[in-house]
Structure 1
Amino acid sequence: MACKIQKRLSLRRRRLHILQVLTNSNNANKNSIAKSTFLHIHKLKLALENVKREYESLIATRREYISLLNNVKDNKEVKIEKIKEGTFKVKVTCEKGGEKFVAILETFEKMCVNVEQARVSCENGFSMEAIIVAEDENLDVRDVNEALLKAIGK
């Protein structure tokens, strides 16, 4: 029986010593250690709340920054290179959404242009590269450019 009591007392002393070390308490009094432990836990809670507030602030700043970047850059871009008479290489990039591909193909049809080869991607916005051949060899780069800008602007 006395052995169990001694084990309990030594276990309590060990726990109090651990709390005393963790909280940097100089007092060996049980109440003093409990108060300093409570104070230490309270300080840790305040520090955690401060870190959470700072994290939320950083996330909000990041969202605002990304929003501003999305508004600033003009995503509509059309590049046209003339390969030979009546043949063009077309590169179109713009933001996702809408039926851009269908509008571009309808524009090619209105201009009487045949698409020989095309590659389309919708990974980071809409992008398309195509080689087109005009039935009418009088077609100009400016005409194609204006027509495509109107098509992706719809």
Structure 2
Amino acid sequence: MGLPDMTMSAAPQARQARLVYLDDSARTVYCSAVEVPFPEGRLIISRTDLQGIITHANEAFVEMSGHQREALIGAPQYILRHPDMPKAAFKDLWDTVQRGEKWHGYVKNLRKDGRYYWVYATVVPNVRGAVVTGYTSVRRKPSRRRVAEAEALYAQWLQQEAAAS
């Protein structure tokens, strides 16, 4: 079951944003105010290598992201980063998993077509022979109350990041 495609010309309140990532790389993205609801009963699952490069994407991930599987595999996980997500949230994620710990959090993801979707994510290190070899992320439907709380917190963090730069 695929999601309908949407061109940016049809997107209400579309905006352009420049994102700078933790590794200081940057790109310009287009995003709209249209949310794609997370489907009931689905889990988005992906695996990355130690640098965050996607090595596996399940069908739900492919559908929700709006990207072709071939475009996802080999791409950095941050291609899904929405401009409303503060860098501090991803720094916390990376710091946590690089210590070998499990991370949980709410993430607003950007689809290829500019729409967005919220997830509740759990990211765990993949360990083989006492060595971390990559990471697995399992995302599920978040509660609307928790999304509202995350939006308020992330807006504060974004203001702090803007003031500091």
Q: TM-score, normalised by structure 2?
A: 0.19
Greater relative contact order: 1 or 2 (C-alpha under 8 angstroms, separation 6 or more)? Answer: 2
Larger radius of gyration: 1
- Please, what TM-score do these two structures have when normalized by structure 1? 0.20
Greater strand share, structure number: 2
Larger proportion of helix:
1
